[in-house]
Structures are given as structure tokens and as C-alpha cells.
Homo-oligomer: A and B are copies of this chain.
Amino acid sequence: MTIETVSTNRSFGGTQGVYRHASAQTGTPMVFSVFVPDHAPGAKLPVVWYLSGLTCTHANVTEKGEFRRACAELGLIFVAPDTSPRGDEVPDDEAYDFGKGAGFYVDATEAPWAANFRMRSYIETELPEIVAANFPADMARQGIMGHSMGGHGALTISLRNPGRFRATSAFAPIVSPLNCPWGEKALGGYLGADRSAWRQYDACALIEDGARVPDLLVDQGGADNFLKDQLKPELLEAACAKAGIPLTLGMREGYDHSYYFISTFMEPHLRWHHERLTR
């Protein structure tokens, strides 16, 4: 579990680092970023996980997410993993929405993807151990958020691991891969044609099947090009209403799918997490 420091930069009274390690799950080197606010010696800080969307690496949110100011103020560690294994030996697809940059936070079962595309286990098991061992992280106080495909990741990982995350939120998440073209392609490709195997990777299906979280915060841009065909927040709204999960859904008129949207609502999301992580 040795990690290599790629870079550190002082920012907003904390340290923004980028790290690399050999992942047993993906069989590849993996890069992730961690922001650690200055803190008292020996103190452990709550952790917020941020899962990124299609085509992204750790770098997009690290450069454009505008999370450091609020994390420094609130004393939150912010962890941003990559979205897939990388490297010349890793199988890929020409499309932006499958293969590298599009791991969909699943453990693939289909060839040739199964060997490396194990982003579920990487995020659920391997990376948390690395974060706990290398950073002043209070693993009893974790929150998780994500954007688009990473919103799907945040919702499904939280729903499958009851009690681990005290706060769960998303920006423009894919709420039901079973019911959108991105999900059909990715889950079909990684998991095969048996759609019953997909349900553990579908936030709405998980809720239908009994999974619960205390509450959810979702923001969604009203001018998001993917709103109608891919994201469909109304499906999550219906599932939460039926299950009695309190969902705060902010429809943000005029906002699109970009980091101009995410950065705008990052601070309120972090405050929402902080409130739940410090109760």
C-alpha cells in the first residue's frame, strides 16, 4: 500500500496533493487527488469522496471544482479518484462513454473488461484503506458525492453500504442506468445481457429492492443537455417518494452539465455534508 506523491500544492490553507499507487483491483497504476486542510497535530478529519463523470480523471474536479475554500473552512478532507483504469494494456473502446474514462463504478464480469474494470471494489474497498493509512482521515465520518456517472457511483455505493456514509449527494446524477442509453451500453458491455445483474448498479432499482439512506441531496441543471434522455431525476424522485427517503432535489434553471454548474453548488453540498458529518 505504498503511495507515490505526484505533486503537492499549497492552497486555501491546506495541501492539495496528487498521488499514484499500484492498484491490486485494477492491476494498473491509479492516480487520485486528496485535499487536506491544515489541522491540529493528531487530529482526524471527516472525509468527502467525489466521484467524477464520463471522460474525467481526478484532475477535472481538482482544477475546476472550487471545493478547497469550503473544505478548508469546514475541515473536510476531499478525495477525488479516477474514473477507470488507465494504460496501454487496458482494453478500451473508441467511444467516450465506454472503456477508459467510463468505468461506471462497476466490477465488470464480461471479457475483456473483467480483468481491469473493477472500479466498484477499487472505490469501495481498496482506496478507502489507502486513504485511511496515509491521511489524517476519520473513516467513521465519511460522505460521498459525485457528478453524472459519478453521481450514479455515489448513490449506488452509498445505497449498497448502509451506515458507511453519513451524507450522500450528487450533481446531475445518472439515477437509473437500466433506463438510459449510457447505462444500457455500459452495463450491457461490462456485465452482459442479464439485466437482473444490473440492479445492484442502479440507484432506483436498489431503492426498489429495499436499500436505504437517511436522506439525499441532488442538484440538477435545467439546461443540461442530458437531462431528458439520460439523467431523468424524476425516476429518483419517484423511487425516493415510494420508499420514504427524504430527497432534496434542486432544479437549477439555466445551468448546464459542466463544472460551471458543479462549482456553483459545490459549497452548499459541502455544507450539507459537513452538517451530517459533525452531528
Contact = CB atoms under 8 A, between A and B. Distances in A.
Contact of A260 (B9, B64, B258): B9
A110 interface: no
How many identical subunits does the complex contain? 2
Given A63-B64, A64-B64, A66-B69, A260 B223 contact: no
Interface string A52-75: 000000000001101011000000
A258 B261 CA distance: 23
Nearest to A69: B66
Contacts of A223: 10
Interface string A1-35: 00000000111110010000000000000000000
Contact of A11 (B13, B68, B263): B263
A264 interface: yes
Interface size class of A (residues with CB under 8 A): 20 to 34
B10 A255 contact: yes
Interface string A254-273: 11101111011001000000
A256 B66 contact: no
A64 B68 CA distance: 12
Interface in A219-243: 221, 223
A68 B13 CA distance: 20
A252 B256 CA distance: 36
A259 B59 CA distance: 13
A255 B8 CA distance: 10
A259 B16 CA distance: 12
A9 to B, nearest CB: 4
A11 B260 CA distance: 5
A261 B63 contact: no
A122 to B, nearest CB: 27
A63 B66 contact: no
Q: List the 10 closest A-B pairs by CB distance, nearest first.
A: A11-B260, A9-B260, A10-B254, A10-B255, A12-B264, A66-B66, A63-B64, A11-B264, A16-B260, A9-B258
Interface of A: 9-13, 16, 63-64, 66, 68-69, 221, 223, 252, 254-256, 258-261, 263-264, 267
26 contacts: A9-B256, A9-B258, A9-B260, A9-B261, A10-B223, A10-B252, A10-B254, A10-B255, A10-B260, A10-B261, A10-B264, A11-B260, A11-B261, A11-B263, A11-B264, A12-B263, A12-B264, A16-B260, A63-B63, A63-B64, A63-B259, A66-B69, A66-B263, A68-B263, A68-B264, A69-B267
